[in-house]
Structure formats: structure tokens, C-alpha cells
Amino acid sequence: MTDRTLRGKVAIVGIGETTYYKHGQSPDSEFKLALQAVVNACEDAGISPHDVDGFASYGNDRSDAPRLASALGTKDFRFSNMFWGGGGGGVCGAVGNAAAAVATGMADCVVAFRSLAQGQYARYGRSQASTAVTGDDAFLAPYGLMSPAQRFAMKVTRFMHDHGIRQDALRAISLACYHHAQNNPNAVMKGRPLDAAKYDASRWIIEPFFHLYDCCQENDGAAAVIVVPAERAKDFKGKPTYLLACGQGSDHRSAAPVHNMPNYPSSHFNQLAPRMYEMAKLGPSDMGIVQCYENFTGGVLMSLVEHGLVKAEEANEVLTPENLFVESGKMPLNTSGGNLAECYMHGLELVIEAVRQIRGTAINQVKRNDAAIVIGGPMVTPVSSLILGSEATL
């Protein structure tokens, strides 16, 4: 019987980004940004944009795949896919869906991409004005529970209470991201360093996200990665990065309405993570590169625990700046700055940074760079994660 796995079947051979901007400041349309990112990824791979034959995205991306195919001059449009759910829960799932298409022969060269121009459309991080509310909102809005920060803070508050985790752990996550962004020329927060005093003095948002710097940015830009069959991986310009595993989905009834899921204080990776490690034939201790989606620092805390990278009872001791900084840490975190300080490109910049680390071309290069874990947006349904590796991990 054929082994049902993606392990070692495909490789990422091209990565591309645009300039990243503060929300509303891009001079280009969302569609043009998407085109630029795809063209940049093709250039990185050493191929023509005409050779792309499939498209995968997530977060209800508005850059329509058929329109992209026409604009890029795609010669044979074979695959298109959208991962269900809003925000960044699907970032790794979109890459995984591209990989599945390539591994099964549905396409040969698929780009996974994300594009955002919030000045052209609406901002993500605030509640939307409406004359009527339906669904979950009908039960939440009357009590003032409307914005993403408010909704996620409920779950994180319970998790921190249950495990005795202090605010210091959230501060350390934020400091690490801003620290790494200072060396990254494409980071929106480059030149705006953060220290503990500035973090503590920043304005209150909502408990336990007491501070502005616990919350992700809102940005414009685009990012893309090129996925091809593993047997062709060395035909391209750069060092290939192999997909070892992808997991997507969520826990039992994690999408139950009105905050009524059975496992409430969860980022929804409890069932996904073991399946992913099993496919990769690796464990948490093998991950030298950790890129974890930060819509809010509390989501990082919960995601790291549910992927076995930190024990909840040890979070106060493990999640410190010294342990998360690339220069000194046992678990360097979000080495390009992540959503907090590089760009909130709904997490695809984290995948790109993982590829750079495995290639050995990252600005904040880690010492152990054979295997990387990328954790997608937490506390939504569905969620997704990836494990990537060098040729040595196959």
C-alpha cells in the first residue's frame, strides 16, 4: 500500500515578498502587490512566471487566481484552491494544499500567496460597524465582545490563570520579535526598538493583552512561495527546502458557537500537532527553527505549549528574552520579526523566514537549521502548521 504522506514529496524552491507597509500606505493595489510577490518568487526560483500552473491562498484573499493566471501569462492553468477561514489560520494549510496538488500530479508548479492592501479595502483589527448582528455576534456584541483582541483575550486569560503564567512571558515574546526586526531591512518596525520599559509603558488594550506591543501590526504587502515536486527540486536556482509535514484542522467542536467549545483555553492545535510530527518522523526537540504566528502574544504562548515546544508549567522559566533571542537562546523565536515587528502578512512571512533559515541566508541565522516548524494563526478554526527541512532530514 502506498504511504499516505507528503514527507519529502515536494520542495519550496522560490520565495518572494514586496516591500511591506503600514496599513493604508501601499502605493499599489492589492492585486498588483500579489503579482509582484509571485514574480519575485519566480525570479528567486529562476523560472518564468509563465511556468506557474497553480495557485493556493487563504484568508479569503481577494487576488483572484484566474485573474492572476491571465496577468502572469500562465500557459496551462491546472489548479486553484482557497483554504477556508479568515485571517492566518490557513497560512500553512495553503502551502500544504499547494504541496498536495503537486505531490498528486494535479499541478507541477504551484504558488501559495497572500496579498493585503487595507487602504484599498478595510482594516482587519477592529470591529465593523453594522446595523444588525447575526450568528455568534448576536450573542457577543451586546456584551461588548466584538474585536479580535477581545475575543482571544478571553481564552488566553483562562489559560494563563489555569497554569499560573505571568505577563512576563508575553513580554518576552514581544521583545524577541522586535529585537530580531532591528536587523531586518524589510521589517516595518526596523529602527523602532522595544525594551521592557517601553513595553510596560505602552497603552492598555485588553486583559491579558495589557499592552500595545502584545498585538500584531496591520500592514499592506504580499508574499509568495513556489512549490514543485521533490525530484525536480535541484533543477532550480537555489537550495531547496523540503516539506516534511503539514497539518490542518482543529480540535473537537473547536468552532462551537458563542465560545462554547469543550476545550476552551486552547489554540486548537492539540489534535493536529501529533499527526504532523508523526508525518515528519520528527519531534519537538528536533526543531531548531521556530516561527510562530502572533496575532497576539498569548496565542504564541498557547501554540508553543500545544506543539510540545514548551511545557505550560515551565513557561515562566522558558519564555524569557535570553531564551528567545537568536544570539543566546535555546529556542530563537520569529527571527525576522514576525507579525509583531516584520509585517502582518497573515503569517506567510514566517514561512519565508523558515526557508531562509534552512538555506542559511537569514539575517538572524540560527545555529541548528536543518528542521523548522511554522505554526499558523491560533484560536481560529481551522488552524494549520508546517514542518520544513533540509535535504539532510529526508
**pLDDT value at position 126?**
55
**pLDDT value at position 88?**
94
CA-closest candidate to residue 384, choices 277, 283, 229, 273 = 273
In the chain the domains, ranked by start, together with CATH numbers, are 10-122+216-389 (3.40.47.10)
Query: Tens of pLDDT along 16-28?
Result: 999 999 988 899 9
Query: Tens of pLDDT along 158-172?
Result: 999 999 999 999 999
- Categorize the per-residue pLDDT at 229 as very low, low, confident or very high, splitting at 50, 70 and 90: very high
Residue 225 pLDDT > 60: yes
What mean pLDDT value characterizes the chain?
94
DSSP state at residue 314: G
Catalytic residue (one of 20, 213, 277, 344): 344
Residue 121 pLDDT > 70: no
Residue 125 pLDDT > 70: no
114-135 average pLDDT score: 72
Is the Cβ–Cβ distance between 362 and 278 less than 8 Å?
Answer: no
Residue 272 pLDDT > 70: yes
- Categorize the per-residue pLDDT at 86 as very low, low, confident or very high, splitting at 50, 70 and 90: confident
Residue 1 pLDDT > 60: no
340-365 average pLDDT score: 98
**pLDDT value at position 55?**
99
Residue 2 pLDDT > 70: no
Q: Is 293 a residue of the active site?
A: yes
**pLDDT value at position 128?**
59
DSSP state at residue 206: B
Helices and strands, number each (H, E), in the chain:
13, 10
25-48 average pLDDT score: 97
Q: Which positions ≥6 away from 287 have C-beta within 8 Å?
A: 309, 371, 372, 373, 387
| pTM given for the model | 0.96
Residue 173 phi/psi, 5-degree rounding, is -60, -45
**pLDDT value at position 355?**
99
Helix (H/G/I), strand (E/B), else coil: 136: helix
How far apart (Å, rounded) are the C-alpha atoms in residues 147 and 13?
38
- Categorize the per-residue pLDDT at 79 as very low, low, confident or very high, splitting at 50, 70 and 90: very high
Degrees (nearest 5) of the Cα angle 106, 108, 113? 95
Task: From residue 267, give the alpha-carbon distance in Å to each of 137, 200, 303, 341.
Answer: 20, 25, 6, 22
Catalytic residue (one of 178, 199, 242, 293): 293
**pLDDT value at position 146?**
83
- Categorize the per-residue pLDDT at 8 as very low, low, confident or very high, splitting at 50, 70 and 90: very high
Residue 185 phi/psi, 5-degree rounding, is -65, -20
**pLDDT value at position 140?**
87
Which residue has better confidence, 131 or 355?
Answer: 355
- Categorize the per-residue pLDDT at 210 as very low, low, confident or very high, splitting at 50, 70 and 90: confident
**pLDDT value at position 285?**
98
User: ω before 378 within 30° of 0 (cis)?
Assistant: no
**pLDDT value at position 18?**
98
